[in-house]
Amino acid sequence: MQAHGLAGASISVRWEHGMKFGYFDDQKREYVITQPDTPLPWINYLGCEAYFGIISNTAGGYSFYRDARLRRLTRYRYNNAPFDLGGRYIYVRDNDAKEFWSPSWQPTRHQLEKYECRHGMGYSIIGSEYKGIEARTRYFVPLGENLEIWQVTLTNHRHHASSLSIFGGVEFCLWDAQDDSTNFQRNFSIGQVEVEDDVIYHKTEYRERRDHFAYFTSSAKPAGFDTQRDKFLGPYRGWDNPAAVERGESGNSIAYGWAPIAYQHIKLNLKAGESQQIVFILGYQENANDQKFDPPNSQTINKKVAKATIAKYLSPANADAAFENLRQYWDSLLNIVQVDTPDEHTNRMVNIWNAYQCMATFNMSRSASFYESGIGRGLGFRDSNQDLLGFVHMVPSRARERILDLAATQLPSGGAYHQYQPLTKRGNNDVGSNFNDDPHWLILGVAAYLKETGDWSILGEPVPYDNQPGSETPLYEHLQRSFQYTLDRLGPHGLPLIGRADWNDCLNLNCFSDTPGQSFQTTTNKEGKVAESIFIAGLFCLAGRELADITVQKACPTHGGTGKCAEAESEAKKYLAEVKKMEDTIRKHGWDGEWFLRAYDDFGNKVGSKECEEGKIFIETQGFCTLAGVGLNDGMAAKALQATKKHLATKHGIVLQQPAYSKYYLHLGEISSYPPGYKENAGIFCHNNPWVIIGETRVGNGDQAFDYYSRINPSAREEISDLHRCEPYVYAQMIAGKDAPTHGEAKNSWLTGTAAWNYFAITQWILGIRTSYEGLQIAPVVPKNWKGFKATRKFRGVTYNIQVERAGAGNAVALTVDGKSVKGDVVPLPTDGRKQVAVKAVLT
Ligand code: GLC
Ligand code: GLC
């Protein structure tokens, strides 16, 4: 064990132990894993449009088209031991020695020489050497295609020629991943394949209602194949020891039911020093209903389109070109925001990994990771709206589409389905509605979109309610109804009623669940007319101010508006009056003396108060109220932040509440179901740490903001990977809190609102490069000992080259734009067609 320190300038935290399993290659934008037995599988995502795969550092994981539950291509076994079994496996067999191994370590787990996994932007390269044979596979999904490519390069480093057998393939999932893992009485009889011209086609259920099939093939002439799993593995054997690989010969089996697979066997003779490449392709293809079969009255798949695609990508040159294309795509996405600060962890996360994770959360919401099964939740209304904060600058057109889809699941009341299914885009009835914070996130998502793009036309888009044709109103009215939703649901203190839950899905004040297995969120035993949320109150204040701004801005003729500015102003005033009223109510009924209360329960008692025995102080209201600007002028915000530091901050991040609930409280719900220190029961829920970070910037405390930011920054935690356990290149939802025996251990990496919020907090609030309606605002609140930093930001078609210099210890900004000094801290949008703007900000 070595002693390690954080590089961040203002960090006083020192880790007492540490160990790494790889390193960052920032030049290549890769994380390089150097030993395969990481504490947990460390994964990456392939694909960023419609075809997706999850891949671990040992090639575990699966693929799907659009919907991880309903269109699953390959099988994955959950909660297995080992954890990540089921994947894109290659076996290499030395035909003379009659020995075989997996170059990705799993599933045979041979002691490899020179193992390396490079997770990059939309691709992973897994390679190793064993007894002088090197095998390196580059996995990726070409842009615009519904397929994945595995480029396997084999090199013989021995002094003599080697006769090798390569087996590569997948196990198919029978499409609906939920049904696939439960309905065996049917599924063991329905599997069907076709094998034609050395391509294996998986066509289970194609004979009936499906219009899609999968295919697998390779660029080499196979010596044989298998499509029946049990023929390939042999009875009582697992993936670590397939009979066909052991024998060095495939069975050319055709699957009738049971478990269809696609494995190809390729024989290679490599001279000493020789390299050869094999390209494998796994693809997904849809055919129009009247074109499914060829000839039309047969049961044979029409393969016309698929064959052309296959022919294209089996050429290594075309595969290389597709890879180069993907690389450039990611360069262009990441180059929208690039920073050069004194802290390498900040640079690495902002420039590479945090932005990359924001793409994953945008695409997946909370559906498919190694912690989200892909068969559970769809896209969350609140989650997806928040994800936009970190994504909107990358592909605004997709953000626009997402906003309209989300709004279409809104209900006429202004409320929203909590989740919707990505394939059907319909609200999910199992979970339903009445999470009373949901509608406000739509206002925040739209505001972020408008500030980034200036595309005011989105507000006029006709959008239905509950997807009912004929119910359309302009999107703007959806926002009005979102705001009104809370005003229609105020409780005894004039605070918002909480409904099933607010942001904290586990604070279930109307549920009173007393039966094992009962859902905490959807079992509602109380009328819901008493329990109130101060969190929603804070959210309402922020959303109300955003709505007021949108209302005024949208009237401007330059924004395509009517020019009826007076009318707009008076509408906006109404919103602001409600916000003011809510702030007064918070001051009166939502303040505990030193911090913001969390809620009132169904008995009208306080939650998150000194008066409580446990759960006296919660992070959500301290963070969200201060970030929303509540209590900035009367000292409440500063006090709340001090209390947060005193009671909630740990060196691994800020815990959700204190003291943790030591027992189950029927009237509080799921929050008290977790053992102390985990998840919502006093875990470090990384999603809401950035709210406090932003709150600290709002009171001007850059040192504290950056200190909190660094505590949960995954790159800054790399050196304690043995404790942290999750990937050091992405955020996890949770780090175990101080009440947990495993304090500092992360869980549930990748799909978390933490990604977008931290990105937003560091780029827009600490570095202070903030989108606004008038232009790019430059308002850094950085540590005092930073001499400055540089950044480039592409914004509305213009590249801003920003240089920030510290001349004094404060946060006041003196701005120079293209050599001319400008009043205030907003760089006006150029009106003369300039595409490059030089910005200098001096902090005094
Ligand atoms: C999960 C949910 C999110 C919720 C949070 C806190 O991350 O996806 O919607 O806000 O937990 O309960
Ligand atoms: C559980 C989790 C919470 C998540 C919710 C989603 O309650 O603890 O984090 O938001 O499930 O339904």
Task: Supply the residue whose CA is at minimum distance from atom 11 of ligand 2.
Answer: 505
Q: Which atom of ligand 2 is nearest to the CA of 670?
A: 7
Catalytic residue among 505, 549, 601, 707: 505
Place of tokens 């719900």: 669
Q: Which ligand is nearest to the CA of 513?
A: 2
On whether the CB atoms of residues 95 and 79 are closer than 8 A, the answer is no
Residues 6-25: b if buried by 16+ CB within 10 A, e if exposed = bebbbbeeebeebebbbebe
For ligand 1, what atom is nearest to the CA of residue 501? 12
Say how far apart CA 679 and CA 242 lie, in whole Å: 40
The answer to whether residue 176 is catalytic is no
Angle ∠(272,277,280) on CA atoms, nearest 5? 145
For residue 90, give the nearest of 130, 52, 49, 132 by alpha carbon: 130
Say how many Å lie between the CA of residue 516 and the centre of ligand 1: 21
Q: What does pLDDT average to over the chain? A: 96
Pairing of β 836-843 and β 798-806: parallel
- Ligand closest to 733 (CA) is 1
**Residues 6+ positions from 443 with CB-CB distance below 8 Å:** 479, 482, 483, 543, 546, 547, 550
Q: Among the atoms of ligand 2, which is closest to the Cα of residue 674? A: 8
Beta strands per DSSP E along 664-797: 684-685, 732-735, 746-749, 769-771, 775-778, 788-795
Counting ligands in written order, which one lies closest to the CA of residue 672?
2
3-state SS, residue 792: strand
DSSP string for residues in 249-269: ----B--BSS-EEEEEEEEEE
Helix residue spans in 343-395 (DSSP H): 344-348, 354-364, 381-391
What ligand 1 atom has the least distance to the C-alpha of 680?
A: 12
Give, using CA atoms, the residue closest to atom 5 of ligand 2: 505
Contact call for residues 780 and 808 (beta carbons, < 8 A): no
Nearest Cα neighbor of 636 from 587, 589, 599 is 587
Q: Three-state SS for 839?
A: strand
Q: How buried is residue 632: exposed, middle or buried, by Cβ count under 10 Å (0-12/13-18/19+)? A: middle
Separation of CA 459 from chain center: 26
Token pair listed for 223 = 């010596």
DSSP 784: T
Among 362, 503, 536, name the best residue to mutate to test ligand 1's pocket (greatest count of ligand atoms within 8 A of Cβ). Answer: 503
| Residue 15, pLDDT score | 63
Give the model confidence (pLDDT) of 661-710 as tens digits. Answer: 999 999 999 999 999 999 999 999 999 999 999 999 999 999 999 999 99
Q: Whose CA is nearest to atom 6 of ligand 1?
A: 504
Give distance in angstroms: CA of 674 to centre of ligand 1.
15
CA 207 / ligand 1 centre spacing (Å): 41
Q: Are 281 and 216 in contact (CB under 8 A)?
A: yes
**Residue 498 alpha carbon to ligand 1 centre in Å:** 15
Structure confidence by residue, pLDDT tens digits, 747-800:
999 999 999 999 999 999 999 999 999 999 999 999 999 999 999 999 999 999
Residue 367: nearest ligand to its CA? 1
750 contacts 361 by C-beta, under 8 angstroms:
yes
Cβ–Cβ under 8 Å, residues 555 and 562: yes
| Ligand 2 midpoint to CA 657 (Å) | 16
Place of tokens 């034609």: 196
Pocket of ligand 2 (CB under 6 A): 505-506, 521, 670, 679-680
How far from 808 is each of 29, 545, 785, CA to CA, in Å?
A: 35, 32, 10
Q: Token match 């076709």: residue? A: 194
Closest ligand to residue 756's CA: 1
Q: Are 735 and 653 in contact (CB under 8 A)?
A: yes
For the chain, how far is it from start to end, CA to CA, in angstroms?
43
Query: Which residue has its alpha carbon closest to ligand 2 atom 4?
Result: 505
Predicted pLDDT of residue 288: 97
Q: Can you give the pLDDT at residue 17? A: 60
How far is 756 from 610, CA to CA, in rounded Å?
32
Q: Are 54 and 83 in contact (CB under 8 A)?
A: no
Output the furthest CA–CA distance in the chain (Å, rounded).
86
The best mutation among 687, 688, 731, 754 to test binding of ligand 1, ranked by most ligand atoms within 8 Å of the C-beta, falls on 687
Q: At what angle do helices 316-334 and 304-313 cross, to 10 degrees?
A: 80
Distance 753 CA to ligand 1 centre (A): 8
Q: How buried is residue 340: exposed, middle or buried, by Cβ count under 10 Å (0-12/13-18/19+)?
A: middle
Element (H, E) at 420: strand 419-420
Point out the ligand 1 atom lying closest to the alpha carbon of residue 503. Answer: 10
Instruction: Calculate how far, in angstroms, residue 506's C-alpha sits from the geometric centre of ligand 2.
Output: 6
Distance 685 CA to ligand 1 centre (A): 9
Residues of the chain with pLDDT under 70: 1-17, 377
- Ligand 1 atom 10: the closest Cα is on which residue? 503
Closest ligand to 751 CA? 1
Q: Of the residues 364, 383, 673, which should be mutated to test ligand 1's pocket, given the most ligand atoms within 8 Å of the CB?
A: 383
Which atom of ligand 2 is found nearest the CA of 679? 8
Residues 6+ apart with CB under 8 A from 394: 333, 336, 355, 358, 359
Distances (CA, A) of 363 to 50, 335, 440, 614, 783: 9, 20, 21, 38, 34
**68 alpha-carbon distance from chain centroid:** 14
Distance 505 CA to ligand 2 centre (A): 6
- Burial degree of 561 (CB within 10 A; 0-12, 13-18, 19+): middle
Q: 507 and 534 in contact (C-beta within 8 Å)?
A: no
Amino acid, single-letter form, for residue 422: P
pLDDT digits (tens, 9 = 90+) for 240-253: 999 999 999 999 99
Please give the Cα distance from 188 to 181 (Å, whole number).
11
Return the pLDDT at 481. 98
C-alpha separations of 74 from 173, 621, 735 in Å: 5, 43, 31
Shortest-distance Cα residue to atom 9 of ligand 1: 383
Give the Å distance between the CA of 32 and the centre of ligand 2. 32
The residue assigned the tokens 């068969």 is: 375
Does the bond joining 107 to the residue before it have cis omega, within 30 degrees of 0?
yes
Binding pocket residue ranges, ligand 1, CB within 6 Å: 366, 380, 382-383, 503-506, 680, 687, 733, 752-753
Atom of ligand 1 nearest to the CA of 382: 9
Question: What tokens does 383 get?
Answer: 């989650």
Tokens found for residue 27 = 């030049």
